[in-house]
């Protein structure tokens, strides 16, 4: 178990690195995200590399993220869904995806 930032970074530096061609089979990439932000936080580097390499990339969001704050007055469900969608589109654009 990692207990310090230094241990985390040491373990991260020890991870193997491989070119995209060795990580993915030829063709496109589909990422299934439970809700918005999981795609960019969990797979952002892979998504950016695939887009930069000209691979077809699709991201499927299983939920819209609107139920994360059920009692929020500031962000009722519809407003939160719209916010999450805008954030997801901005994140994907920052990663080089249309």
Q: Could you tell me the pLDDT band of residue 72, with boundaries at 50, 70 and 90? A: confident
C-alpha 48 chain-centroid distance = 10
Give the DSSP H or E segment for 33. Answer: strand 29-33
Q: Which of 59, 64, 62, 60 is nearest to 78 (CA)?
A: 64
Q: Check residue 63 and give its pLDDT.
A: 93
Residue 61 scores a pLDDT above 80: yes
Which tokens in the block code for residue 21?
């061609």
Residue 1 scores a pLDDT above 80: no
Upper half-sphere CA count for residue 74 (Cβ side, 13 Å) = 3
Q: Check residue 60 and give its pLDDT.
A: 96
pTM: 0.79
Q: Could you tell me the pLDDT band of residue 67, with boundaries at 50, 70 and 90? A: confident
Give tens-digit pLDDT for 20-48: 888 888 889 999 999 999 999 999 999 99
């Amino acid at each position: 178990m990692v207990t310090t930032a230094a241990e985390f970074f040491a373990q991260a530096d020890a991870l193997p690195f491989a070119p995209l061609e060795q990580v993915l089979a030829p063709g496109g990439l589909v990422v299934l995200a439970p809700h918005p932000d999981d795609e960019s936080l969990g797979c952002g580097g892979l998504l950016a590399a695939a887009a930069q390499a000209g691979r077809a990339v699709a991201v499927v969001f299983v939920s819209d993220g609107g139920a994360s704050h059920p009692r929020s007055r500031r962000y009722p469900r519809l407003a939160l869904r719209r916010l999450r969608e805008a954030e997801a589109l901005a994140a994907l654009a920052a990663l080089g995806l249309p």
